[in-house]
Chain A
Amino acid sequence: MSKLSLRGVRKRFGELEVCRGIDLDVGEGEMVCLIGASGSGKSTLLRCMNLLEPIDDGVILLDGEDIAEPGLDPAPVRQRIGIVFQSYNLFPHMTAAENVMLAPRRVKGLSREALKPAVTELFERFGLADRMGHYPDQLSGGQQQRVAIVRALAMQPEIMLFDEITSALDPELVGEVLDVLRSLRAQGMTMVLATHEMGFARELADTVCFLDAGRILEHGPPEQLFSAPKEPRTQAFLSRVL
């Protein structure tokens, strides 16, 4: 059974139907990359997966349970599915460490003292040991994004979603964030990424999905999708970005 399964997911904003019947399976420990042009529905799909956007139709199964049931409390689901955004969205009035500890403190009821060792270890693991007391505006983009990842990881989610997390970064800072993803991959974290980093997707993804106008037009292992795309639209997209 897949860790996360989407069946016939539809989402519309007013007149615009952004997801038009999406089926997707993410296995335990798998890394799935969503590629496609801006506006193809990648970000919306990710936001639907952890219920930041309620879907209009279809089902989302987490360990076989439908989490898209209208009226269901989204908070417990969101604890299990972390998300990192393109624009970091750190809380500007809190230090990096406070950003990371807020949700474990409030949601899991843990004290700062109890959290300190684990949080310090996370910061150390991602090369941020000396940045714990800094405010977001004192950090570089790459550091902020790594803090945002640590913040999501601190809730010990079962799945991590990454929404174009390197798109807002200067080119020389992209590498440090991708390294974080590599290490998560090595630990067997289940991940779904919306990304424009084709080289990265090719290197690490188990499955790559090409989205076009709210549909998954084509999906498969990266070597197949990148080397021998079947759909003309996939070919056109790849020839533009590669």
Chain B
Amino acid sequence: MAEISAGKAAEPARTQTRRERYDAAQRRRSLIIAAVSTLAVIAAIILLVPLAPGWEAVKRSFFNASVFERTFPGLVEAFLLNVMIFAWSAPMIALTGLAIALCRDVRAPALYPLRLFGALYTDVFRGLPVVLVIYLVGFGIPGLGLPRPYNNPLIWGTLALVLVYSAYVAEVIRSGIDGVHQSQRAAAASLGLGERDVMRYVVLPQALRAVVPANMNLFIALQKDVALLSFIGPVEIFRQAGIYKSLFANFTPYVGAAIIFLAITIPATRYADYLMHKQNRARS
């Protein structure tokens, strides 16, 4: 063994094996084909799209540089409200989702109503379009004639988001709980731990770790759906873009808003994918 490795060390410029030469040739080939095909598609788009009869009109109303310049800072400012709504909704959603998931896992017969509630809750709020819940909660509850600070659409819009998204988060967490192997529960129970301790110290920590990527995807979707609150009043980025659109009679502000959303969501999605990939690798 020692002699072989010593022999290797004495030969620094190792020649490629047959397999390595073949693999390198294959890689070069794939790279060239991919580059050529990508360039061909891009060239086709650049050449063909302007040939469309309405291209000049679309360019004026969607890609207007001066409108973009004048509205973009305002859009970024409005986006701060989205970020704020997201920032206070997300922890509420995480906690409510966890509570609902745990409701669905209780075994005691006295707590059966909780279980039933958990099941109903997830069924109802996953079964409704987000916009519909926002309308019903956002217009319905203030309609009860609530006094001043409590008729704020931000409160009720947030509640609507929490209702819908916690139902999804609850389902994701529950799948994580189900995914923890039975032998882990058996091992914990065999040490004399009670059911609650088994859940809290053994099952839940593993379940929550396993569902981090899935939950991240949900929170990315939430970041986008915050824009739906514009329907009940708050001037966040989507509504601000609408105001600019009317002001300038031009659709460019929507493109600006799209760019701002993508600047947040693309890195976040990539990161979630990376986490998912890492987890899959660790599992195999």
A residues adjacent to B (C-beta < 8 A):
47, 50, 52, 74-76, 78-79, 82-83, 85, 87, 89-93, 102-103, 106-107, 151-152, 155
Contacts and interface: CB of A to CB of B under 8 A. Distances in A.
B175 to A, nearest CB: 18
B184 A91 contact: yes
A107 B192 contact: yes
B183 A155 contact: no
Q: Is the interface of B mostly helix, strand, loop or mixed?
A: helix
Enumerate the 4 nearest inter-chain pairs by beta-carbon distance, A residue then B residue, closest first: A79-B192, A89-B187, A103-B191, A78-B192
B201 A106 contact: yes
Nearest to B208: A93
Given A102-B201, A106-B197, A106-B201, A89 B184 contact: yes
B210 to A, nearest CB: 10
A82 B190 CA distance: 7
Interface residues of B, number: 17
A106 B193 contact: yes
B61 interface: no
Nearest to A88: B187
Contacts of A47: 186
B183 to A, nearest CB: 5
B12 interface: no
Interface string B172-186: 000000000001101
Contact of A103 (B183, B184, B193, B205): B193
A75 B183 contact: no
Nearest to B197: A106
B216 to A, nearest CB: 19
A91 B191 contact: no
B188 interface: yes
Given A91-B202, A92-B206, A155 B184 contact: no
Nearest to A86: B183
Given A91-B202, A93-B209, A102 B193 contact: yes
Contacts of A89: 183-184, 186-187
Given A78-B191, A102-B201, 12 more contacts: A76-B192, A78-B190, A78-B192, A85-B186, A85-B187, A87-B183, A90-B187, A93-B209, A103-B193, A151-B191, A152-B190, A152-B191
A83 B194 CA distance: 16
Contacts of B193: 75, 102-103, 106-107
Nearest to A77: B192
Interface in B197-218: 197, 201-202, 205-206, 209
B58 interface: no
B191 A52 contact: no
A106 B189 CA distance: 12
A52 B192 contact: no
Given A91-B202, A92-B206, A93-B206, A83 B190 contact: yes
B190 A52 contact: yes
14 contacts: A52-B189, A75-B193, A75-B194, A78-B191, A79-B191, A89-B186, A89-B187, A91-B184, A91-B206, A102-B188, A103-B188, A106-B197, A152-B190, A155-B192
